[in-house]
Structure formats: C-alpha cells, structure tokens
Amino acid sequence: MKILIRNLARTLTESDLEALFAPFGEVAECNLVMDAKTGESKGFGFVEMPGPGNGKAAMKSLNATEIAGQVIRVKRATEK
C-alpha cells in the first residue's frame, strides 16, 4: 500500500519518516519529495507498506497528528 503524507516539516528526513511508520509494520520504501533547485524537502512524501492492514492502521493513527510542529495529513496515494 502506497501512502501519501502531506504537510511535513521541512526539517524531517526520510529516516524520521520511516521511524514514524515503523511501529505499524514493515516499511518497504520511504521517499521525501525534494526540490531540485534547493535540495530541500517540499513538505510531502510517500511510504510504501506491503501489508494493507498495517498501512490502514498507520493512516488512521497518524492522520491529523502533530509531528515536528506540523499537523500532518496521511492518506492512501492514488496512482497517476
């Protein structure tokens, strides 16, 4: 299950994001979207969790929680 996380603090790293989701199960992939010009985070990213039950539990628990001073939004990513 691919999960979209929005409104992340610009200081958060991929390892921080992975650590946030790890308590809910295996994290297969974790990517922060970075600005090509500045190299800084754009404030959103994706986490891939192989277990759909784990992904749903993570979304339910983490959506609208405050992380590093920002209230994050967590939902299932849609394929383009």
- For residue 57, what is the domain's CATH number? 3.30.70.330
In a domain, 71, yes or no: yes
Long-range pairs for 13-17: beta carbons < 8 A, 24 or more residues apart: 14/45, 16/68, 17/45, 17/47
More confident residue, 80 or 51: 51
Tally of domains within the chain: 1
Whether residue 24 is contained in a domain is answered as: yes
- In this predicted structure, the answer to whether residue 76 has a pLDDT above a threshold of 80 is yes
Residues 27-64 have pLDDT tens digits of 999 999 999 999 999 999 999 999 889 999 999 999 99
At 52 the pLDDT is: 84
Other C-beta atoms lying within 10 Å of the C-beta of residue 17: 22
Question: Which pLDDT score is estimated for 79?
Answer: 77
Residue 47 belongs to some domain of the structure: yes
Residue 18 pLDDT > 90? yes
- Please give the pLDDT value at position 51: 82
